[in-house]
Structure 1
Amino acid sequence: MYKTLCIAALSALLFACAKEPSAFAQADLSVRSPDGENVIRFELERGQPSYQVDRAGSPVIEPSALGFLFKGEDAPLGPFEIVSSDSSSFDETWQQVWGEKQHIRNHYNQLSVTLQETAKPQRQLTLQFRAFDDGIAFRYLFPQQGDSDLVIMDELTEFKLAEDGTAWWIGAYQENRYEYLTTESPVSTLEKVHTPLTIKSDSGLYLSFHEARLVDFASMVLERTDDTSLKADLVPWADGDRVKTDGSFTSPWRTVQIAEKPGDLITSYMILNLNDPNVIEDTSWIEPHKYLGIWWGMHIGKYTFWESETHGASTKNSLEHIDYCKKLGIDHLLIEGWNKGWTPAWYENAMHMFSFTEGTDDFDLKTVADYARENGVKIIGYHETGSNIVNYRKQIDAGMKLYQEMGINDVKIGQVGSRLNMTEWHHGQFGVNYYREVLKKAAEYQLTVNFHEPIKDTGERRTYPNMMAREGARGQEYNAWSEGNPPSHTATIPFTRMLAGPMDFTPGVLDVEIKQGYEGRDVHTTAAKQLALYVVLYSPIQMLADLPENYDGHPAFKFLQDVPVDWEDTKVLDAEIGDTITTVRKDRYSDDWYLGSLTDEEGRSLEISLDFLEPGANYEAQIYADAEGITYQKNATEVAISSQQVTSADSLTLKLAPGGGTAIRFKKL
């Protein structure tokens, strides 16, 4: 493990704890980011706490309420007086086990304010505020104070925006969780929405509202309460309680990332910095990778998930896919549907029963695992719970132990269903605790996790780097059996869903016209754009989603063989939310850079400077572009492949077809 470079300087106390509470009345309780641009100011007026945020002297968030409402007697918290306050600074550089950037700087200034109620029961509450160069964060710490069954019924946190703006959002409390297309509208039209919520203010500032270190708490959605005022809304339990505690709690960090350009939201690592350091000492079994799967064929109707004449996860089909892995040079294979319990109605909300140890009659796990090992391929396991968490918890140890015995180190876990156990929201406190429980259990069995139908990412991967990726948005599969994702979808989610963390989008379909499967379906992109997604949409595990026979002999497959999944650095060169994005990343294990550029329904010509390359070095630019004259609706499979020598002093013109993209490997010579 890279030795953390840490310079932590604790400043003198702003105010001594021994002072009388009245001494704080006129105090300037504020904290400024290291670069001086972002300022958080705390105020206590008539016993009620509030905060505001300025950037470069202009208001971003106007005075906004803080606090909670509890259940039962003494439900309101407050009014308060200030009993102590202190400030500190912190500066470190730490290394990710894997990631989109190898070394991350964690630099902030902090203000802590401890409050106490002026009347009985005189409970205390501490607020921590952190100001970063790329945003602000705050959280609540409520110590144990004698009430062992304290229940939170409401969080009073507000975000009163100083001005209107354009928001990109998906609505909260819908049956399919986060799996909806993004809506673009003024902030003043919002209702209840999920986070990350991305906003471009009328003055041109880019903001992302989210949360970090979500542990034993309900996740937060945002509700517009008046014009441009947003309020925290905690996802409830089935009984209406929001958060059940033992009498103490530490809330997640409430976060606002702030940027002058949309691409700077993507290269902000504030969410990770607000999480605890890695707790897994031996991470040698955690391997970023690319993988094939018995997956796309089931979504397009070539195979079935359940036992049938066309069952996808048969022993015979699995062995053939292992042969493809070996031939194509891809060393991981996902097998879905190998176990007992799959039926044509498996996805219905019916507490469906799966076995996590018994294979179907036409599948033998040991035979398949042994054959894979002999051929240098690692199997990725699959656990579909159908949201029947009662059934999964009964079998989880046996299921994970079986994978461990078979030499399997990776598992995809699905929670298909509108509610966990048909009663609880996936993103309420029940779900938050369930997903964390499974993640910890997987670490015990040295299994990495890829959650589908997940709780949203809030930076857990820093603490548990076996948390590799998750779904949590509309992925590739929607192109197989629905109206599909429009070209603008992949130009939007880098600035919304993916600000939270890696997504298992499952790109790489080169047969974008879907010649096999459901009639009239296609993936609404060009094939070159599918290549670009491997650079634009970050994940340490990337599926090569197409049928393996569509890769065999395809000249554009070379890029999929070459492109890494673990990076030293990431830069966004050009971006406009919902329209276009161009991202470059440097390979962690070579001197090569990779570029992905994509557009929405509009064709574009972009001039890209190559000044990110090493000065004085020569590179071969291996270019995979849209063929001349194509669109995502016409001859979309055609890829123009070329190469040329370039240096950091050069620029390239990228010609993106409507719904298209470009992928480039810059190989250092």
Structure 2
Amino acid sequence: MALSLLLALVPASAFAQAAPRAETAASPDGSIVLTVSTDNDGRPTWSISRRGKLLIAPSKLGFILTDGIGLQRGFAIDTVERARASSRWEQPWGERRFVHDVHNELLVRLRQDASWGGHAMNVRFRLFDDGIGFRYELPTQPGLATARIADEFTEFDIVPKGTAWWITGGEWNRYEQVYQKTPIEAVATAHTPITMRLDDGTHLSFHEAALVDYAGMWFKRAEGQKFRATLSPSSRGPRVVRDLPFATPWRTVRIADTAAGLVESDLELNLNEPNKLGDVSWVKPMKYIGIWWGMIRGDWSWAEGPRHGATTARTKQYIDFAAKHGFGGVLVEGWNKGWDGNWFGHGDRFSFTQPTADFDLAGVTDYARKKGVTLIGHHETGGNIAVYEAQLDDAMKLYARLGVRAVKTGYVADAGGIIAPGDAPGETRMEWHDGQRQVQHHLKVVETAAKYRIAVNPHEPVKDTGLRRTYPNWVAREGARGMEYNAWGAFANDPDHEPTLVYTRMLSGPMDFTPGVLSLEGANKAPLASTLAKQLGLYLAIYSPIQMAADFIENLEAHPRELDFIAKVPADWSESRLIAGEVGDYAIFARKDRASADWYVGGVNDATERTLTLQFDFLDPGKTYTATIYKDGDGATYLTDARHRIAYDTIRVKRGDTYRLWLAPGGGAAMRLHPGR
């Protein structure tokens, strides 16, 4: 009796912690519901459901630090703020002219118990009808002036079963891989974007937005279908070092009923900051040609000597072709000194201002200007950013003086990592391609180029995270296995490679894929896994504001009808829709020219022939269009010489009409729809 009385006088809190506080928020249409809470150990968690179905179970949030108590436990929700936003903003170039940003925001302020360090950590969530983004914000606070992050502890515990399309994170060849298709529970460590189709048909894509002064995120499976963010490493120990206050990149989840819903989302763009450069009318979408295909095939060389590709005479020949057929630029690689010897993965001999003896840089740029063509510059670093950064300003200043308006950069370092400046003069350190130091480097290049009104197109880049909104001169990048692999072997890129890229890599932003190999041959006549019509369809399927016609100019000229299409197809759109497609199988787009009333339709197919019924319900009402069609010819297949078979058709169509389109194995199609006759 006495014991019972004593227990009755003790507060319940002495035996059990009060139920953790939970906060919820919903997307504008109410379909997506977020719940943020803490568990009994004070670990912050987040979860989301869609239409009443749990998609991501409670998943932990936080950081592991190298020099202190981690930001993982002992937290409670302190305060929250809520906001709504609805706006429309205009892209200077892109897949569509106007982007709508409608979201609800929840800012959760977390306070750590003093016994765990007493730190403050905020998490800002933005909910859209097509997904969610969240980021950490570490405010100024006593006892934590600098965050030295060993890794994030951000979890994504995916509930429903499904299929994933992914490439391995942390590999020597960066993002240049063939995509794997596996059950979600079989994923190892993936680069993002990683795309998933759940068994009920829901489509997901996990990625990040606004990657600035931070390490790239890999998507690592912990157990079952639970994933954790893990950051690209650094040679310095901590993967990220940042002074407070700072915000991390956004962690993003696109959610859609269909594959088209994923493709048409602007979620990452909306999570980036607006244009910081002001007037960017000097950024000009264009199509270009270049001597690159002959070099990547091995016909010509980057190094000086009898096979040197970048000669004055050859470049002028390409400039003449560009002027004749309406191409805006000519890319010239190997124009500068430093390619002789073993540059691969070293780059210590490169000069970015001195041309080779057989290339008259000033004369060529002057010749191009008189022809109405611009030279597209090239800065290959061999992965040595220490050498490049030392010359960067002078190199961009030279290009600006000569009228070069765009530059392709490169970081080929397959034999190792990035050679970055060290702490002492002359010292270097090895870093990862997507680590914090290389992320800093890419932004330095883009900002320096912007100072001289030059656009940048990096190859071997850090993945795209939507920063083209903030820096519109960051026009495209490689960041996937592109056309170049087809130069090195038969069917090097499988026919399902491009229909997979549309729903994976292309969710991050424009890609310099370099289509337009009309000969359908790589080195030693190695065949491409493509029909002729598919080469045209790539201009609609793989978006970039700078599109290359990659083949030799004599091969382009040998296909006058196809060349005419490539010359006319825009690289800048007012509207884009995926009108038919499934992940890894096929993708057909309808895109409207920003500079005219013309529509273009086309895309790519995998190895399975199929017949589609295309609906022309996107056309403007009350108008009749003349459709010029390029499609796979009878019996076409990528497997034989029948890959060259192409058929042409001209029909009259209006809104509401349909068209039956047969796609060959490895095939594709392209159409131009012009109002009137």
TM-score of Structure 1 vs Structure 2, range by shorter chain: over 0.9
Which of structures 1 and 2 has the bigger CA Rg? 2
SS at 1:150 equivalent? strand
Q: Which position in structure 2 is the counterpart of 1:5?
A: none
Q: 1:468 to 1:406 in 2, by over 3 A?
A: same
Q: Which position in structure 2 is the counterpart of 1:169?
A: 166
Deviation at 1:572, TM superposition (A): 0.7
Q: 1:204 to 1:196 in 2, by over 3 A?
A: same
Q: Which position in structure 1 is the counterpart of 2:466?
A: 459
Contact 2:44 2:72 survives alignment (8 Å): no
Deviation at 1:25, TM superposition (A): 5.8
Q: How does 1:113-124 map to 2 (within 5 A)?
A: 113-119=108-114, 121-124=117-120
1:349-399 deviation line (CA, Å, top 9, x unaligned): 234421001111100100100100111111110000111111001111111
1:464-495 deviation line (CA, Å, top 9, x unaligned): 00000000000000000145101100010010
Contact 1:513 1:636 survives alignment (8 Å): no
Q: How does 1:148-547 map to 2 (within 5 A)?
A: 148-343=145-340, 345-347=342-344, 349-418=345-414, 419-421=417-419, 423-483=430-490, 484-514=492-522, 518-547=523-552
Distance in 1, matches of 2:347 and 2:673, equals 50
SS at 1:296 equivalent? helix
Distance in 1, matches of 2:311 and 2:238, equals 45
**Mean alpha-carbon deviation: is it higher for 597-606 or for 408-417?**
597-606
Contact 1:328 1:552 survives alignment (8 Å): no
TM-score (norm 1): 0.94
Q: How does 1:519-668 map to 2 (within 5 A)?
A: 519-554=524-559, 555-634=561-640, 635-668=642-675
Q: Identity percentage over the alignment?
A: 44
SS at 1:449 equivalent? strand
Deviation at 1:310, TM superposition (A): 2.2
SS at 1:140 equivalent? strand
Distance in 2, matches of 1:329 and 1:191, equals 46
SS at 1:435 equivalent? helix
**Structure 1: which 5+ runs fail to align?**
1-21
Deviation at 1:336, TM superposition (A): 0.7
**Structure 2: which 5+ runs fail to align?**
1-15, 420-428
1:374-431 deviation line (CA, Å, top 9, x unaligned): 1111111000011111100111111111000001110000011141107111111111
SS at 1:594 equivalent? strand
Equivalent residue letter for 1:551:
L
Deviation at 1:309, TM superposition (A): 1.5
Equivalent residue letter for 2:95:
E
Contact 1:24 1:82 survives alignment (8 Å): no
Deviation at 1:574, TM superposition (A): 1.0
SS at 1:39 equivalent? strand
Q: 1:23 to 1:39 in 2, by over 3 A?
A: farther
Q: Which position in structure 1 is the counterpart of 2:7?
A: none
Q: In the alignment, does 2:69 pair up with 1:66?
A: no
Distance in 2, matches of 1:176 and 1:74, equals 35
Deviation at 1:28, TM superposition (A): 4.7
1:253-293 deviation line (CA, Å, top 9, x unaligned): 11000000011111000000000000111212110100011
Deviation at 1:154, TM superposition (A): 1.7
Aligned length: 644
Contact 1:196 1:209 survives alignment (8 Å): yes
Deviation at 1:239, TM superposition (A): 3.4
Q: How does 1:48-87 map to 2 (within 5 A)?
A: 48-87=43-82
SS at 1:666 equivalent? strand
Contact 2:176 2:481 survives alignment (8 Å): yes
SS at 1:525 equivalent? coil
Equivalent residue letter for 1:639:
I
Distance in 2, matches of 1:666 and 1:455, equals 37
Equivalent residue letter for 2:471:
Y
SS at 2:535 equivalent? helix
Distance in 2, matches of 1:326 and 1:73, equals 62
Q: Spell out structure 1 runs of 4+ moving beyond 4 A.
A: 22-28
SS at 1:369 equivalent? helix
Contact 1:556 1:641 survives alignment (8 Å): no
